[in-house]
Every structure is written in C-alpha cells, then in structure tokens.
Chain A
C-alpha cells in the first residue's frame, strides 16, 4: 500500500537529512506505529506520503502511484484516498461537528444526498451520534479528536495517517481513540500512526517502525515502544541537578560582605 525505496529527504542544502535511505513497505490493511524522538523524521515520513513534500532521492509509492513524480493536478486524487488526523485536531471552529465532517465531502464536490446520508453514519461510527450540532469548543478533547477522525474517514480512504493523535489527550481518552483507530483498521483501512506514547504501542502489539535521525533503526512485526532513557541518569547520590555534568558537589561560593 505504501512503499518507500531508499528515500532521502534533505530540507536545506548541506543540512543533515531528515530521512536517510529509508526503505519501508506497508501492506494493505496493516497497522503501523511510527516511533522515534522528535526530529527523527516521523513527520517528514507522513508528509512524503501526503505528497506535501517530494523526496530528495528515492521513490515513494502510495496506493500504486509513484508519488514523487505525481504531477500537481493529480495530487488531489491521491489525497482523496488518504485520511489525516493531527495532534491538534484542526477542526474549523466556526462550523459544527456535522459541518466539519460534511466540509470534507463538499469541497471534493460530493452531491448533497451523499453527504446527508454519510455524515451521520460516520459520526455514529466514531461515537459522536447526536453530537453533530455541537460546536468543536463544546466538545472534550477526545470528542474533538473523534470528530477529526470522522472527517478523515468520511470519504472512505484506503489509508489513514495519524500524526500523534493521542498527544493532547489523557491516557483513558487515548485508549478510546486507539480502540476507534483499531476498529477502522479492522474494516480494511491501512493505518499509520506516528506516536510518542509508549504505553499504547506496548499494549497494541502491532508493527513498529522506529526512526532515529532519519534512519530506520527497527522494524518489528509485533513490537513495543523500545527502551526509554531513564529520566534521571544513575550517578549515585550526588545532587546532579545542582551541578550539571560534573556529578560532584558544586564549590561553595563565598559571598563577600562589604
């Protein structure tokens, strides 16, 4: 469904590449976690799939198309097969939930009766039945993300990209969102989710692709989040926070009186 062949992306000439010789193959219907520290290349990966960027080198195939060489006027056709969800939901604040979801269909020219039938169905599926008339500000974070997911899948995309969809949500709410994404995945939609949330990754036991400095360092079929660094390095009893880097007691400064 998605294939990266030796893909490199360099944003500025001479800069360190955001992606470096990345090769990943995602099958139809897979659920893939994309993990790694900030700046490891997760967002670049997603934006290459969306054709917001073109790779500097290598080839990107999405749903059978060579995305890198896709001409500009065909990009909309590609994006109609993709759904995207973000950490910050990106709902239009001046529209109701129903209007937000309908908007995605209106702007690609779907006829009114299709919109009238599909939108409530999708809202129902994501657990927002009866909340179509609410404004986004009247919803909780989890509900807003559900609305955003509804908007992303209302056109029945083959692929759903989620960029840290649980990043702004508490663990319980996140769990609900993950169940929803899992359900969407079970209907045959390929899901790629970039995340920092180790608990979720560890619990779901799905394929994990880990990026570090633009390189794939791990690609496991049923992986966990991977090792986390301890928050406090083990340096014994010395008060490291007072004297960064030394591990020894800071010299006592004498205050000169006048």
Chain B
C-alpha cells in the first residue's frame, strides 16, 4: 500500500515537472561524464606506468641472450658481471643512488604477465624472453646523466634508461587533461546540485496543498519527503547511467576500435575499466541528489 502510494506520487511528480527532470538528467549526465573521463584518464596513466615507475628513476637493463650491443659480446649477463655493476653502484654512485632493486627474468615475466594476461600482440612469451634489470632510485632525480655515464658501456649492461624522460611528458598531458575534466566536472556538478535543488523546490511548491494535508493528518516526515527524494534520486541516477553509457561508447569505439588499432604497443583503458568507474558514478549521483534534497526538504516540507 505505502509503496504503491509513494510510487504513484513519484510518477505524478515526475510527470508534472518533466522539463526540469529532463534538465536534471542531462546536467548530471554531462557532469558525471566528465567525472568518469577524469577517472579513466587516471586509469590510463596507471596502465602506462609499470610496477617500477613510482619506485625508481633509472632502469639498468642487463644483457639478454643474443643482444647486438657491444657490451653484450659475451652473451647473457653473468652473475659476476651483475655483481660488478652492483659493486660500482655501491661505491662510485653511493651518493647518487639511494636504493637498488634487482628484477630477475622470472620476476619480469610475472609482472609482464600481469599487465598483458592475454600475451603481447598475439605472441605467447616465456621468462626467457624477458630481460633482467637493476632498478635504481636516485637521491636526486636530476642526477641521471652521472649515473648513465658511469654505468653505460660496462660489461653486461645493455642500456641505461631514464624512465621518466620517456613517459613524463605524456603523463603531464594526461594529468592536465584530468585536471581539465575534473574542473569542468566540478562546475557541472555545482550546476547539477543547483538544478536538483530547484527541481525539488518546484515540485514541493506545486504539491504544497498535498504536503500541508499530509502534515495535518499526521503523515511522518519520511513519508512526506520520500517522493521528493526519490524524484531527485531517480533523475540523477538516470543521468549517471547515461554517463556510464556514454563513457562505454567512447571507450568502445574511440579507444578499443580505433586507438588500439592505430597505436598498438600501449595498454589502453578498456570497457572493463568503464564498468569499474560506472558504479562510482551512480553512487555519486545518489549522493548528489541526497545532498540537494537534504537542503531543500528541510526548508520546504518541514512538519
């Protein structure tokens, strides 16, 4: 009885306020799309970084089997060569290097498998296709040149790589894009809150008589306010679902179908990531509606 009655009130409220409700749906749709885009951009950054990225600045890749580099003439780096390199790091570079991690081929393979569970570009690799490396954390990231000078050309060292030089500009771009999306999302969210507030107020005013009678015959606060709450929440959730759908379409057609085919060596965000973000958007929508309702209802439908 109660449930049916409340539902009827919600439906009639939505019908009475159709234009406003559509506006709420659209504004939440757009704002949450920006929120979702920001989240996906961050997810993309996460995908580009490997496990070492936040930990170290320099990767010293040790000679794999069959390398053509002159320092690798003796074939795969031996334990002795590795020990020698570590020795140099511990003595000559002790003031520049603060931490050293050793990643064996097996460990590299495990990390790799985790990032590319389906194999890389259609080939199944094994631990032997991996490359052992020393990962260095520097006391000062600017000291890369010194470290590179000392370690390059030693036996068993194939190449010394400044990790950040490769990805940093890209990450900066992605981070700026994230900020932009988040900023726009903020503005739109504010608009959404204001709009939901206005919608609820309109709805409350247009149902003033009903509300007054309800108060007088002793309907509980919750019962009086529930239809308004549900109206706002329903519109907002609809908007968030649209946002999720929009993001899914964008990832599906722009990233998976297009980007992944043109630039295929990068791990991109996938539809799975969208499904991870979408519930958050719904939760945000509900929170948004709850927040605005809270303000409104205390002013317009108090007992």
Interface residues of A (CB under 8 A from B): 50, 72-73, 75-82, 84, 90, 92, 103-104, 106-112, 151, 155
How many interface residues does B have (CB within 8 Å)?
18
In the complex, what distance in Å separates the CA atom of A80 from the CA atom of B214? 10
Q: List 9 A-B contacts (CB under 8 A).
A: A75-B303, A76-B218, A76-B303, A79-B217, A103-B213, A104-B213, A107-B223, A108-B217, A108-B220
- The reply to whether A112 and B213 contact each other, CB–CB distance below 8 Å, is no
Contact B209 A92 (CB under 8 A): yes
B1 — which chain A residues lie within 8 A by C-beta?
106, 109-112
B209 to chain A, nearest CB (A): 6
User: CA separation between A79 and B224, bound complex, in Å?
Assistant: 14
| Chain A residue at minimum C-beta to C-beta distance from B12 | A94
B78: chain A residues within 8 A (beta carbon):
none
Contact B303 A107 (CB under 8 A): no
- Contact across chains for A90 and B303 when beta carbons are under 8 A apart: no
Q: Could you tell me the distance between the alpha carbons of A98 and B214 in the complex, rounded to whole angstroms?
A: 16
Q: Which residues of chain A come closer than 8 Å to B209, judged between CB atoms? A: 90, 92
Determine the distance from Cα of A77 to Cα of B1 in the docked complex, in whole angstroms.
20
- Whole-angstrom distance from the CB of B41 to the nearest CB of chain A? 46
Give residues in B with beta carbon < 8 Å to A. 1-2, 5, 209-210, 212-221, 223-224, 303
Q: Which residues of B contact A92 (CB under 8 A)?
A: 209-210, 213
Check A78 against B218 for contact (C-beta < 8 Å).
yes
From the candidates A77, A106, A151, name the one contacting B218 in the complex (CB within 8 A).
A77
Point out which of A72, A108, A111 has the most chain B C-beta atoms below 10 A from its C-beta: A108
Given A106-B5, A107-B223, A109-B223: A90 and B213 within 8 A (CB)? yes
Q: A107-B5, A111-B1, A112-B1 are in contact. Are A76 and B219 (CB under 8 A)?
A: yes
A72 touches B303 (CB 8 A): yes
Shortest beta-carbon distance from B1 to chain A in Å: 5
A153 → chain B closest CB, angstroms: 11
Structural contact, B214 and A50, CB atoms closer than 8 A: no
Contacts of B218 in A (CB 8 A): 75-82, 108, 155
Distance (Å) between the CB of B44 and the closest chain A CB?
49
Contacts of A111 in B (CB 8 A): 1
Q: Report A85 CB to chain B, min CB distance, Å.
A: 10
Residues of the B chain whose Cβ atoms lie less than 8 Å from the Cβ of A151: 213, 217
Question: Nearest Cβ distance between residue B140 and chain A, in whole angstroms?
Answer: 62
Among A72, A82, A90, the residue within 8 A (CB) of B212 is A90
Across the A-B interface, give the 3 residue pairs with the lowest CB-CB distance, nearest first: A79-B218, A80-B218, A107-B219
In the assembly, what is the distance between CA of A170 and CA of B237, in Å? 53
Q: Which residues of A contact B217 (CB under 8 A)?
A: 79-80, 104, 107-108, 151, 155
Bound Cα distance from A80 to B216, whole angstroms: 8
Flag if B215 contacts A79 (CB, 8 Å).
Answer: yes
Q: Which residues of A contact B212 (CB under 8 A)?
A: 90
